[in-house]
Amino acid sequence: MPARLPRADYDRARAFVRSQGRDLDVDLLSHGFDGADAEPGLKALARYQNADGGFAHGLEPDLPTPASTAIVTGVGLQILRQLGAPADHPMVRGAVNWLAYAFDRDAGVWPIINADVGLTPHAFWWDWDQDLAARWNGFRFNPSAELLGDLYAYRSVADPAVLDQAQATLLRSIASAQRLDGAYDIKALMRLIETDKTPVEVRGPAEALMAATRASFDPEDAHASPLDLAPRPRPGDGAEPSPAVVAALQALVAGQDADGGWRPFWDWSAVDAGAWAKAERAWRSILTRMALETLAAYGRLAGVGA
C-alpha cells in the first residue's frame, strides 16, 4: 500500500490553493471534492477564452500570449469536460469551432502554437520558428491526439470532415510508430484513450501503442511519470496499481512542500523573471489541484471522500 496523504496535509493543500491559487483551481476543487455547482468554474474559465472561441491568456501558464493556440484550447476543453459542460454550451461550441478553423487540412493535424506566442514573454520551448513541427513530432500526437479526443467527446457539434481527417491521420501515425518517446506525445495519446467516446477502431491501436510505450518507458523521466501512462482508476474497477504506479504515488505524496503546495520542476526565469514568477505561482496552483485529484482517484487521501 503506497503512502496516503494525511488529512492535515490535504487541508493544507486546499488552504494553499484558496490563499495563493487561481480562482479556477479553487472552483475545480470545490466542484470535484465538495460537490459544488459547475457554474463558478465555468465563469472562471471564461476569462481565458477569446471571442474567436480559442483559449489563451496564460491558462497554460508558460504561454501567456493573448492569442488563441491549439495547446491552450486543449487545456480549456479538458476543463470543460471536467466540469461536465454539455456540447451545446456556448464555450464548448466556441472552442470546437476554433479547432475547425485552426486545423491544418493539408497535414491533418493541429499546429501546437502559432507566431503570436511572441506577443508576450514565454517559456523558451514555446518559441515559434519554421522548425517547430520537426521539434514536436509533426504535431501528430501532441496536441492532435488529445484534440481528436475532445472532438469525439463533443461529436454532435464537431465538423465531421475535420474529425474524419484527424482520425485518419492519427491512425496512420499510430501504424507507423513502434512506441512513443516524447512525454507529451504520451500524455496526449493517453487522454484520447481515456475519452469514453473514442471509437473502438481508434482505441484498440492506441492502446496497443501505449502498451509498447509503457514497456520501454523510463520511470525517471522528469516530464512524465508512470501515472501518465496508466489509465485513471474508475470507481469500482478493483484494479490494483502496478509497482511503478505505486512508486509514483509515493513520490507524489512526498513532493508536497511545507506550505501545502506542489511546485514545478522547470524554470524559465532567465527569459523574464517577472513573467516566470507569475507563471510559477499559477503552476503551483494547478499542480496542487492535480496532485489532489490524482491521489483521490487512487484512494490515497486519508479521511477524505472524493
End-to-end alpha-carbon separation of the chain, Å?
19
pLDDT of residue 240: 83
Region 214-218: mean pLDDT is 89
pLDDT of residue 29: 98
Count CB atoms within 10 A of the CB of residue 125: 10
Segments making up each domain of the chain, as ranges: 1-36+241-306
The amino acid occupying position 118 is G
Are the C-beta atoms of residues 218 and 224 closer than 8 Å to each other?
no
252-291 per-position pLDDT tens digit: 999 999 999 999 999 999 999 999 999 999 999 999 999 9
31-53 per-position pLDDT tens digit: 999 999 999 999 999 999 999 99
**Whole-number Å distance between alpha carbons of 26 and 240:** 30
pLDDT above 80 for 225: yes
Task: Look over the chain and give the mean of its residue pLDDT values, rounded to a whole number.
Answer: 95
108-165 per-position pLDDT tens digit: 999 999 999 999 999 999 999 989 999 999 999 999 999 999 999 999 999 999 999 9
Q: If you count DSSP H runs as helices and E runs as strands, how many of each does the chain have, helices first? A: 13, 0
Are the C-beta atoms of residues 123 and 271 closer than 8 Å to each other?
yes
Helices (H), 62-159: 70-82, 90-102, 132-135, 144-153
For the chain, give the number of residues: 306
**Whole-number Å distance between alpha carbons of 137 and 296:** 33
pLDDT of residue 236: 66
pLDDT above 60 for 3: yes
What nine digits make up the cell of 78?
Answer: 479538458
